[in-house]
Chains A and B, each alone.
Chain A
Amino acid sequence: MPLSTPHAPQRTPGLQQQHSRAAVTATGLWRAYGSGEAQVVALRDVSVAFASGQFTAIMGPSGSGKSTLMHCLAGLDTTDRGTVDIGGTVITGLGDKALTKLRRDKIGFIFQQFNLLPTLTAEENILLPASIASAKADPAWISQIIRTLDLQERLSHKPTELSGGQQQRVACARALATRPEVVFADEPTGNLDTRSSGEVLGFLRKSVDDFGQTIVMVTHDPSAAAYADRVVFLADGQIVRDLPNPTADDVIDTMRGFETRVPLAGEAA
């Protein structure tokens, strides 16, 4: 689908702010891959804000652009047009050095898999961002996270000695260790069984409620999305729905609504 000249920015219907301050704001994001006939537009004029201290889930069918959106928000991918603001810093247009520093200091990451360095112990993995920054982590804060995640007994273990759920909990602890402006979680429960998923999502919820953490999570699992304060639905590179205080059923219903228009692929990207 060839990219036509972008329209003037327009307000996306679902954009709404529940809190006074936005941790992350995207304005008029465009992102296309490839060129000519093979061009695929992943984001077309997306504007969205994520309030501080809120847990937002991004959902959408495969190819809807939800991963691209998260990557652009996190400074991992570049945008063709539009701006991203994290905690008052416009990150679009920043160089690699500045972006790296921003990711280190202001962003936490949780990935679907391969989240830990196999050479380091659980504790070293948790302290990894601080180590990279040659900074001292706040010991009180770290031990609070470790207690909350029930990892006290596992600190000296190497990742290969941990279960998948334990590994992901270590990844959660690492993401929160630097008290980032925002934590981006990319399908954090994609590889986990139901019980471990519940533990991880429960912790993410708790970190928002108890510590005021801002979390943006990409998922295709409606029950995972139900842990969020708000669900943003993407389809065809555009935000098509913004659902506050969702339940799993709400999410399933909303998704079913899209299915009539865009058939869901078997697996999420």
Chain B
Amino acid sequence: MLRATLKGMASRKARLVLTSLAVVLGTMFVAAAMILTATMEKSVTGVIADAFTDVDAVVSSAEDPAAAQGNTPSATLIPGDVLETVRGVDGVESAEGDVSGQINAIGDDGKLVGAFAPTIGFNWNDQSTGLNEIRDGTSPQADDEVIVSTQFVKDAGLDIGDTVTAYSYTADRAEYEIVGVFGLSGDRDSIAGETQMGFTVTEAQRLLAQGEDAYMAIYVEGGDASTDDIAAAIGSDYRVQTGEEASEEAAQGFAAVADIMGYIFLGFGLVAVFVSVFLIINTFTIIVAQRQRELALLRAIGAARNQVVGSVLAEAAVIGVIASILGLGLGVLLGWGLSQLVSSTVMGGLAVQLQVPATALWALAVGIGVTVLSAFVPAIKASGVPPVAAMRDAVNPPKPLRGITIAGLAVTGVGGVLIALGLTDNLGDLGLGGFLSGVGIAFVGITLLTPILSRPLVALLGAVMSWSFAGRLGKLNAGRNPRRTAITASALMIAVALVTGIATLVSSFKETTTELTDSNLESDLIVMGQQGANIPTFMPETLAEIKALPDVAAVGDLYGEFFGAEIDAEPTMLYASEDLPTSLGIFSGTVADGSVENLPDDGLVVNESAAEDRGLALGDTVEVAFANDVTAQLQVTAILDDSQLTDGWWVSPAQIPNFTVPKPMQAYIQVDDGADVGAVQSEVEDILADEPEVSVTNNAQFVEQQTGQLDVLLASVQILLALAIIIAIIGVVNTLVLSVLERTRELGLLRAIGMTRGQARRMITVESVIICLFGAVLGIAVGIGLGWTVQQALEEEGLTSFALPWALIVTYLVAAVAVGLLAAIAPAARAAKLNVLNAIAYE
């Protein structure tokens, strides 16, 4: 029996190739995702592990383990006398304090250096250089000298001898002379694209520790003091780790980036696998239908039912194994390529150490499992072929669609109910999970409904294409086997639905932003920066300069504290404005109770629902703990009506010095009636010439800027879903090729009685285009539904408008036609080239 199966397979090579291709692509992406994750993790861990090889112990604040990175509130600093204590511990040979954190440097072009990766400032230390190797020049000896990383030289366009301006959130600008350049061990420029500047200890402390004699960490080198000895000496306020432990902790943070990318690829790999399920089911169903007589003959000469099932499953298993191994192999290549790409674009030329983890074998399991499982239903169907079918002409009357339709309605219903419950907050803690599984279940249900939907939709789409007789025949052929058409189109539907769903959300977000700007924002110009590695700010003096411009009527300003202020021990974001009444006016914010005029230093303004959430009323007092350890008792002096632009906690400008970043982040400029907005904009531009982080936009540009990143996201999703679309196209090609084979005699007849090759080609092409359009139309409809559902779910989070991405929808429809034309090329050529005589004699 197995021999018969294998021989049969060998005689259908083209079909095998097409089916295998789907499995290969799916497994390839799954394997590549696993390999990317493991490889990046290994490569990054390898590098970071080097960082502390020579370090025997690392002391950090017990309060915040992540203190060594990013912006450091003073509460987590280690005072200088602790360093002295550590140095005094018996057996400690040397100990150095480390001050590091994010700073800003202005490059040769007047812009911030490294917009998307941070600039790290630290105290250069000849003893504990770790990864750093001086490539050129010397280390900084004076406070106005700096040594920079090779990545900095590349990004900033500045080199030894040049002067560079740097500042931090808390320290004003200062100029430094570049006296040296250092690189990282292994001839690298950076670990993850960051740029680095090494200062003297005092200068680093001025920039990053508000000028205090304090450190973020202490590195102990040499000697035989144990971590316990050191811990005992400095007390429980500090954490002491071995170099290894510290390395691991540091590596975890970086590896997380690689992990996220791995998950994204895995997600798209799984979508691809899911789409290939349709292709495999379809192919095996058609193969079984075509082999009906052969199978019946086997049954007639004594093969048992389970032998027939076994025969089909064996074929699937062989395809699954070969294709999965091939997919795994290609996946290793793809994973390696992606790792190279990620390391060179995101990780600053990190040396890639290829890892093929055991988890990559999951790709094999997925590939084989999916193939065999997908072939199961067709196999069972095959075993149902009665032996007598061998004796008569194989006529496959279309099966009634009642069963599948009822099942589809039931499943869609279950999904719909889950979605509805999730939307109305009736699922409690399971809300999001229930909602998402509802979406997934509804997806499956709609897929089951596609055969019944195909009838009216194919007729409708076909009507457009029936202007020629060949087109009419193509339309009839497309509607001939609703299940096959539906399964083929479903693959396309899933991919299109996902992109349309995301596109709908993006357009809804744009619409929401536009509406918000148009109806609530009273300003004409906005000063703000692009959110990159840091929160863009500008100098308070700049605000005053803008206010002084002749045509400016009013300026609203915004300061923010995002890093760790607490109200009654709960982390809370705080806002402040130099002139709250004016700012509220510009944001169309209204006062419900109390007054915002002459806000006292201990005043606090909050919107209604936030106050309600914490059980606060006008006149209540709360304790606000700022990140710099200052604690203040603030009194609620006004309550605002809820409004998206002004919701939150506002404190008096007197508290701004307590903010981690005591600089304005945004300014909203209202221009005098009748004044030229464009002229004011260029005046503001002049003022901002010295502000590297922010720029001025009008409202339309603002919306564009806010939503620009979403377009990038959408484009990435479209690129990644291209894989699923490729598999869907293969599915269409497969179905068409098999249909042409199945209808060989019919085509022969048509050609014999005078159908031209061109007409035969057109007939197949129309069938292809209809299948693709059907998939696209369904996908767009489902995608819009999906987008709407998610928008409804996010309405309370501020996604208040729903808008359709019309341009994209039209593009997808046009693309579907193009895909249909493309998929039809080979099958149509085959149909046209058909030898009429052979076709008529074809069994």
**A77-B837, A111-B840, A160-B397 as given contacts; A132 in contact with B755, CB under 8 Å:** yes
A81 within 8 A of B: no
List A contacts of B750 (CB < 8 A): 117, 128, 132
The CB with the most chain A CB atoms within 10 A, among B397, B472, B477, B836, is that of B836
B299 within 8 A of A: no
Shortest distance between the CB of A69 and any CB in chain B (Å)? 13
List A contacts of B397 (CB < 8 A): 160
Contact A100 B756 (CB under 8 A): yes
Contact A119 B469 (CB under 8 A): no
Complex CA distance for A77 and B393, rounded to whole angstroms: 26
* Residue from the list B745, B756, B757, B837 in contact with A76, Cβ < 8 A: B837
A174 within 8 A of B: yes
Q: Which of A176-192 contact B (CB under 8 A)?
A: none
Contact A109 B476 (CB under 8 A): no
Q: Which of A38-79 contact B (CB under 8 A)?
A: 71, 74, 76-77
Contact A132 B753 (CB under 8 A): yes
Q: Which of B385-410 contact A (CB under 8 A)?
A: 393, 395, 397
Contact B754 A119 (CB under 8 A): no
Range of interface residues on chain A?
20 to 34
Complex CA distance for A51 and B755, rounded to whole angstroms: 27
List B contacts of A71 (CB < 8 A): 837
List A contacts of B840 (CB < 8 A): 76, 111
Q: Which of B734-754 contact A (CB under 8 A)?
A: 745-746, 749-754
**A132-B469, A160-B397 as given contacts; A103 in contact with B480, CB under 8 Å:** no
Contact B395 A76 (CB under 8 A): no
Contact flags B340-356 to A (C-beta < 8 A → 1, else 0): 00000000000000000
Looking across the interface, which residue of chain B has its beta carbon closest to that of A114?
B745
Contact A96 B749 (CB under 8 A): no
Contact B754 A104 (CB under 8 A): yes
List B contacts of A19 (CB < 8 A): none
List A contacts of B190 (CB < 8 A): none
B759 within 8 A of A: yes
Contact B749 A115 (CB under 8 A): yes
Shortest distance between the CB of B733 and any CB in chain A (Å)? 22
**A117-B473, A117-B749, A119-B480 as given contacts; A101 in contact with B754, CB under 8 Å:** yes
**A76-B837, A77-B837, A160-B397 as given contacts; A133 in contact with B749, CB under 8 Å:** no
Contact A104 B746 (CB under 8 A): no
* Residue from the list A96, A97, A174 in contact with B753, Cβ < 8 A: A174
A120 within 8 A of B: yes
**A104-B754, A105-B754, A132-B753 as given contacts; A120 in contact with B395, CB under 8 Å:** no
Shortest distance between the CB of A71 and any CB in chain B (Å)? 6
Contact B752 A76 (CB under 8 A): yes
Q: Is the interface of B mostly helix, strand, loop or mixed?
A: helix
A28 within 8 A of B: no
* Residue from the list B393, B745, B753 in contact with A104, Cβ < 8 A: B753
A131 within 8 A of B: yes
List A contacts of B393 (CB < 8 A): 113
Contact B745 A119 (CB under 8 A): no
List A contacts of B749 (CB < 8 A): 109, 111, 114-115, 117
A134 within 8 A of B: yes
Complex CA distance for A120 and B472, rounded to whole angstroms: 10
Contact B756 A129 (CB under 8 A): no
Complex CA distance for A174 and B468, rounded to whole angstroms: 20
Contact A109 B759 (CB under 8 A): no
Contact B753 A129 (CB under 8 A): yes
Contact B759 A132 (CB under 8 A): yes
Shortest distance between the CB of B749 and any CB in chain A (Å)? 7
**A76-B837, A114-B749 as given contacts; A133 in contact with B477, CB under 8 Å:** no
Complex CA distance for A132 and B757, rounded to whole angstroms: 12
Contact A103 B754 (CB under 8 A): yes
List B contacts of A174 (CB < 8 A): 753
Contact B757 A100 (CB under 8 A): yes
Looking across the interface, which residue of chain B has its beta carbon closest to that of A175?
B753
**A134-B469, A160-B397 as given contacts; A128 in contact with B753, CB under 8 Å:** yes
Complex CA distance for A97 and B752, rounded to whole angstroms: 12
**A111-B749, A117-B746, A160-B395 as given contacts; A129 in contact with B754, CB under 8 Å:** yes
Complex CA distance for A134 and B480, rounded to whole angstroms: 23
Complex CA distance for A91 and B381, rounded to whole angstroms: 48
Shortest distance between the CB of B528 and any CB in chain A (Å)? 63
Q: Which of A94-137 contact B (CB under 8 A)?
A: 96-97, 100-101, 103-105, 107-109, 111, 113-115, 117-120, 128-129, 131-134
Complex CA distance for A101 and B756, rounded to whole angstroms: 8
* Residue from the list B477, B752, B837 in contact with A109, Cβ < 8 A: B752
Q: Which of A210-256 contact B (CB under 8 A)?
A: none
The CB with the most chain B CB atoms within 10 A, among A96, A115, A174, is that of A96
**A111-B840, A132-B759 as given contacts; A119 in contact with B476, CB under 8 Å:** yes
Contact B746 A103 (CB under 8 A): no
Contact B477 A100 (CB under 8 A): no
List A contacts of B746 (CB < 8 A): 114, 117-118
Complex CA distance for A120 and B755, rounded to whole angstroms: 15
List B contacts of A77 (CB < 8 A): 837
List B contacts of A118 (CB < 8 A): 480, 746
Shortest distance between the CB of A219 and any CB in chain B (Å)? 17
List B contacts of A100 (CB < 8 A): 751, 754-757
Shortest distance between the CB of A108 and any CB in chain B (Å)? 8
List A contacts of B756 (CB < 8 A): 97, 100-101, 132
List A contacts of B751 (CB < 8 A): 100
List A contacts of B752 (CB < 8 A): 74, 76, 103, 109, 111
Complex CA distance for A120 and B480, rounded to whole angstroms: 11
Contact B477 A119 (CB under 8 A): yes
The CB with the most chain A CB atoms within 10 A, among B397, B480, B750, B755, is that of B755
Shortest distance between the CB of A154 and any CB in chain B (Å)? 19
Contact flags B264-281 to A (C-beta < 8 A → 1, else 0): 000000000000000000
**A100-B751, A117-B746, A132-B755 as given contacts; A76 in contact with B477, CB under 8 Å:** no
Complex CA distance for A108 and B752, rounded to whole angstroms: 9
Shortest distance between the CB of B463 and any CB in chain A (Å)? 15
Contact B837 A132 (CB under 8 A): no
Shortest distance between the CB of B190 and any CB in chain A (Å)? 65
Shortest distance between the CB of A126 and any CB in chain B (Å)? 11
* Residue from the list A74, A105, A109, A131 in contact with B469, Cβ < 8 A: A131
Shortest distance between the CB of B381 and any CB in chain A (Å)? 21
Complex CA distance for A199 and B534, rounded to whole angstroms: 91
**A115-B749, A119-B480 as given contacts; A132 in contact with B754, CB under 8 Å:** yes
Looking across the interface, which residue of chain A has its beta carbon closest to that of B755?
A132
Complex CA distance for A71 and B839, rounded to whole angstroms: 13
List A contacts of B480 (CB < 8 A): 118-119
Complex CA distance for A77 and B752, rounded to whole angstroms: 11
Contact flags A77-93 to B (C-beta < 8 A → 1, else 0): 10000000000000000
List A contacts of B469 (CB < 8 A): 131-132, 134
Looking across the interface, which residue of chain A has its beta carbon closest to that of B479?
A119
Complex CA distance for A109 and B750, rounded to whole angstroms: 10
Shortest distance between the CB of B828 and any CB in chain A (Å)? 16
List B contacts of A108 (CB < 8 A): 753
Complex CA distance for A133 and B477, rounded to whole angstroms: 19
Complex CA distance for A117 and B763, rounded to whole angstroms: 13
Shortest distance between the CB of B284 and any CB in chain A (Å)? 23
Complex CA distance for A198 and B816, rounded to whole angstroms: 52
Contact A119 B473 (CB under 8 A): yes
The 3 closest A-B pairs by CB, nearest first: A104-B754, A119-B476, A131-B469
B residues sitting closer than 8 Å to A (CB atoms) are 393, 395, 397, 468-470, 472-473, 476-477, 480, 745-746, 749-757, 759, 836-837, 840
A sample of 7 more A-B contacts (CB under 8 A), given A111-B840, A131-B469, is A100-B751, A109-B752, A111-B752, A114-B745, A132-B759, A133-B754, A174-B753
Of the A-B pairs whose beta carbons lie under 8 Å apart in the complex, a sample of 6, sorted by A's number, is A100-B757, A101-B754, A103-B754, A117-B473, A131-B469, A132-B759
A residues sitting closer than 8 Å to B (CB atoms) are 71, 74, 76-77, 96-97, 100-101, 103-105, 107-109, 111, 113-115, 117-120, 128-129, 131-134, 160, 174
